[in-house]
Structure 1
Amino acid sequence: MSDASVRIDVADGLALHARLWGGRSPQFLLVHGFSHGGFVWRALAAALPEYSLAALDLRGHGDSSHDPQRRYSIHDHVDDLVAAARALDLRDYVLVGHSLGASVAALAAQRLPRPPRALVLVDGGPGLSPQASAHIREEFLRLKFRYRSPDEYLQRLSTSMPLASASLLEAMAVDSLQPLRADEYRLKSDRALGYQVQAPSTEDELWQALGRHPAPLLLIRGAVSALCNKRWCDEFAARVPQAAIETVARAGHAVMLDNPARFGELLRQYAAQWFATRPVPTLHADPVS
């Protein structure tokens, strides 16, 4: 399987980086969570060699541009996702978002040039605790942003994601850092991301977007997720009754890293159903500016 990358120009003179696996038109478009990057989907790409995948780095994350004006709202990410989908010329695909990426994907789904065949939310969505979200931002801001080696950063990852395999975390530590000089690395994520606070109105937008989403909708959550706990999941099921919900054992918030085998198995199982028939995708009209 090939592993290539492209840069995609978006608004404000910025460019997004995207990783590509599979060598043909992407059948999965993957959106990572807060402070991470498209590299979190490497295990999924390995688990689904029969499909082609594209994984974006959101602005301010991974190898995408930092915004000097610190425009990192969820709606900025949505605009970028729409632009990236257009540039990648996606035609028949599944949209997958984790954590922050789940909210970005949910809001973008109705605006994408061609609607996705299905929408997958991974341990994310509306109704999450504001206190938990604030804690995540505060932990991010408390991070060191300079490291002597990937191994030093790996120690922090191992503490924050104790269920993930050592090999996945080792690769993630390398992918997360930009080498500056001998024995000096810095986190690729922009520190300014930690100062973004989601507007209260976004919650209503998310519930409304999910309520009217016409394509199949799947929520995958970690059984021991501190963010998407059982109580939250019950509320989600009540408010979005058309969604299928799967709980992955031995997984916390980072489901695709904590239990990549089960996560990949679930996506293969559902994708076989979603791609069983191939109607001509409907083109969405571009929004009026």
Structure 2
Amino acid sequence: MPSTFLYGANVAANGIRQHYLRYGGASGARAARAAVIVIPGITSPAITWGFVGEVFGAAFDTYVIDVRGRGLSEASDTLDYSLDAQADDIVALAAVLGLERYALVGHSMGARIAARAALRASRGLASVVLVDPPVSGPGRREYPGKLPWYVDSMALARKGTDAEGMRAFCPTWTDDELRLRAEWLHTCDERAVLASYEGFHTDDFHADAAQLKVPSLLVTAARGDVVRDEDVAELQRATPAMQHVRVPDAGHMIPWDNAAGFYAAFGSLLGAPLVVEATENAVA
């Protein structure tokens, strides 16, 4: 499949520098469809979702973002890393980019950001896709991913490491995936990650998801313990119109484990199917 990557860019939005990678553009059939903003997870710079951006870019004007404190977006010891700030970033970015209609596709932490952003978007939001969101929160079970996994791997990356250094943390990943993580993990600000991880247990994702007013899709992994069947049932009781697809043969990092199943899960929700001729995986 020919590359759909166009460029990377920075904009000033919501009072900070936000960096994104653009795929596809607004030409041809894409011009009639809502743009797509992809929001990665807690330690996933935009570039690690580039292989997903390539596929989305074939059908949609696609923007893969660096969440504040990750990748090339702004980070500092005074920056607000709360879920509210992250959600406001998305709404402000869409406005600065002049997107008249757009969909949000968020993975893990990015799904929680997407759900909160949907409550703050006054115009233009067409749909929301929540990919394996942490359902932890006040009075709920803890998020199954443990904090030392993030902190220790980031510390190693800041010192300088390679694929072999990352292998202890991600033993099933390919050499290419490990190399990319080793190259980019140091750009994840520990303060941002700690704040987001704490938010997994203090922010009420279920309350946000229950207030979605646009078409929504929940995509979950068949393996792992992030979203259980009872969680799906609760979310769909609160939002009966929410569609759900459980992707087989996949853990939390769904597009890495089962790319075909991940893309097929979207169906026609976004306005066109995601067609995969050939993909090359990176890593998150």
Relative to the length of structure 2, the TM-score reads 0.79
Secondary structure of 1:55's aligned partner: strand
- Correspondences of 1:234-253 after superposition (within 5 Å): 234-253=233-252
Name 2:124's counterpart in structure 1. 115
Name 1:183's counterpart in structure 2. none
1:29/1:54 contact within 8 Å kept: yes
Name 1:80's counterpart in structure 2. 89
Name 2:280's counterpart in structure 1. none
Secondary structure of 2:244's aligned partner: strand
Q: Percent identity?
A: 21
CA displacement, residues 196-222 of structure 1 (integer Å, 9 cap, x when unaligned): 22286631xx43433232211100001
- Correspondences of 1:4-43 after superposition (within 5 Å): 4-12=7-15, 14-24=16-26, 27-43=35-51
Structure 2 unaligned residues grouped into runs of 5+: 274-284
CA-CA distance at 1:40 after TM superposition: 3.6
CA-CA distance at 1:110 after TM superposition: 2.8
Q: Distance in 1 between matches of 2:134 and 2:242?
A: 12
Name 2:108's counterpart in structure 1. 99
- Correspondences of 1:135-154 after superposition (within 5 Å): 135-143=145-153, 144-146=156-158, 148-154=160-166
Report the residue type matching 2:74 in the other structure: S
The 1:216/1:273 distance shift into structure 2, 3 A limit, reads farther
CA RMSD of aligned residues (A): 2.7
Q: Distance in 2 between matches of 1:50 and 1:68?
A: 39
Structure 1 unaligned residues grouped into runs of 5+: 178-186, 275-289
CA displacement, residues 84-131 of structure 1 (integer Å, 9 cap, x when unaligned): 111111112211111111111111113225332111000005446552
Q: Distance in 2 between matches of 1:8 and 1:19?
A: 11
Q: Distance in 2 between matches of 1:201 and 1:127?
A: 8
Q: Distance in 2 between matches of 1:78 and 1:271?
A: 21
Q: Distance in 2 between matches of 1:23 and 1:54?
A: 9
The 1:113/1:166 distance shift into structure 2, 3 A limit, reads farther
- Correspondences of 1:181-220 after superposition (within 5 Å): 187-196=186-195, 197-198=198-199, 202-203=203-204, 206-220=205-219
The match for 1:90 among 96, 99, 102 is 99
Q: Distance in 2 between matches of 1:241 and 1:165?
A: 39
The 1:266/1:165 distance shift into structure 2, 3 A limit, reads farther
The 1:171/1:22 distance shift into structure 2, 3 A limit, reads farther
CA-CA distance at 1:23 after TM superposition: 2.4
CA displacement, residues 132-181 of structure 1 (integer Å, 9 cap, x when unaligned): 26x4333212222335444235424532xx3x6655x256326625xxxx
Q: Distance in 1 between matches of 2:90 and 2:50?
A: 20
Q: Distance in 2 between matches of 1:100 and 1:241?
A: 23
The match for 1:55 among 47, 64, 69 is 64
Report the residue type matching 1:151 in the other structure: A
Name 2:265's counterpart in structure 1. 266
Secondary structure of 2:42's aligned partner: coil
Q: Distance in 1 between matches of 2:129 and 2:183?
A: 24
Secondary structure of 2:143's aligned partner: helix
2:209/2:235 contact within 8 Å kept: no
Report the residue type matching 1:21 in the other structure: Y
